[in-house]
Amino acid sequence: MTLTAGQRVKASLIAATAYPLIAALCRTYRWQIDGAHYYEAVTSTGRQPILALWHGRILPGLHYFRNRGVVVITSRNFDGEWIARILHRFGFGTARGSTSRGGARALAQLRRDLAAGRPAAFTVDGPRGPARVVQPGAVFLAGASGHPILPYHIESDRHWILRSWDRTQIPKPFSTVALVIGEPISVSGTDDGTIHSKSAELHAALGALERRAVDMLRF
């Protein structure tokens, strides 16, 4: 959709307000990181990771993965516009589209970005759910591009939970945040059987990472 000049100004103001608040909040966190070597293991071979996470765990990752040129899909509507502007301030790139509009075009752009040496990221149950159900986009992209999926999960010891479909978790100031990255998942094709089996594997991996992150916060 085409945004009006007023909508673009409003989106710019939202981003200009939200970015410093999010950045300042994330700088107060006490981070516990596990599995960071998996990221380097992928990039050291000349490949790029396709980061995969649940929609409700976005916010802390904006800080941790900042300024790496990670490209994410954002919708072409007004909400997508201000979200894209915040992402750009954190050093992310964007491919504009959604599962309902422009999705094929956005996936094609992500394939080009991966080929050009830029990582990608997917909220695998987004943009509208159902929550904790893996949609096929990330798995399809991995099978079509030859780049591996790199799942990760984030938990915190103190947080707010929003009343949204994804139960978004926002860690409170000065909380401890556990970020766990899992082993790369390679996808060998894009046929229905492969997409189904690898989606199930990704779902299981995210569940295991969640349990690991929760355990880290207990000690």
Residues 167-202 have pLDDT tens digits of 999 999 999 999 999 999 999 999 999 999 999 999
Average pLDDT, the chain: 96
pLDDT at position 9 is 96
pLDDT at position 126 is 82
List b or e across 145-173, with b for residues whose CB sees 16 or more CB atoms inside 10 angstroms: bebbbbbbbbbbbebeeeeeebebbbbee
The DSSP H or E segment spanning 199 is helix 192-216
Residues 27-78 have pLDDT tens digits of 999 999 999 999 999 999 999 999 999 999 999 999 999 999 999 999 989 9
The DSSP H or E segment spanning 178 is strand 176-181
Residues 124-141 have pLDDT tens digits of 998 889 999 999 999 999
Percentage of residues of the chain with pLDDT beyond 70: 98
Percentage of residues of the chain with pLDDT beyond 90: 91
What distance, in Å, lies between the first and last C-alpha atoms of the chain? 49
pTM assigned to the model: 0.95
pLDDT at position 127 is 86
What are 166's two structure tokens?
């994804």
pLDDT at position 172 is 99
C-beta separation of 175 from 158 below 8 A: yes
